[in-house]
Amino acid sequence: MSLLNVSEIMELIPNRYPILFIDKVDSLEDGQSITCTKNVTINEEFFRGHFPGNPVMPGVLIIESLAQAASILILKTEKYRGKTAYLGSIDNAKFRKMVRPGDVLKLQVTMEKQRMNMGKVECQAIVEDQTVCSANLSFIVSDVKNGN
């Protein structure tokens, strides 16, 4: 059972197909931690070119998935409701295993520190109880800007 479904997720973050990588929120401890699920399927657009005959989820999209999970954690708090979280930096990213079609990617994010409209999170992407990627991300929260 999910805590937030994809429709509720889209109310929080601006990402949409084909760049929405969170299928559901499994658990959420307000302002502290979140666990989300990304079901990786062969129908993903990026598998057409990465790599033909050897489909592998690009590492940058695993990081993007973690950043989206972090955004949900941040924007679910009352203080930042209606704002947008932007990725500020990626530190200590490590890729340990390939993510392939059929994998269920569990995205775990823990708030490390937060000050005013900035903060840092510690992230892990896990498949079948094995860490496939870990990274520390920083973020900046800002008002939503419309226009060009």
> CB–CB of 100/40 below 8 Å?
yes
Residue with the two structure tokens 């392939």: 100
- Prediction pTM value: 0.95
Long-range contacts, 27-33 (Cβ 8 Å, 24+): 27/3, 28/3, 28/4, 28/72, 28/73, 28/76, 30/76, 30/77, 31/73, 31/77, 31/111, 31/114, 32/110, 32/111, 33/73, 33/108, 33/109, 33/110, 33/111
pLDDT at res. 146: 63
Does residue 147 surpass a pLDDT of 70?
no
pLDDT at res. 144: 83
Q: What is the mean pLDDT of the chain?
A: 95
Q: For 66-98, how does the pLDDT look when each residue is reduced to its tens digit (9 = 90+)?
A: 999 999 999 999 999 899 999 999 999 999 999
Enumerate residues 6+ apart whose C-beta is below 8 A from 128. 103, 104
Domains of the chain: 6-143 (3.10.129.10)
Residues designated catalytic: 50
Does residue 116 surpass a pLDDT of 60?
yes
Closest listed residue to residue 24, CA positions, set 91, 101, 107, 90: 107
Task: Give the single-character DSSP code of 47.
Answer: G
Q: For 23-39, how does the pLDDT look when each residue is reduced to its tens digit (9 = 90+)?
A: 999 999 999 999 999 99
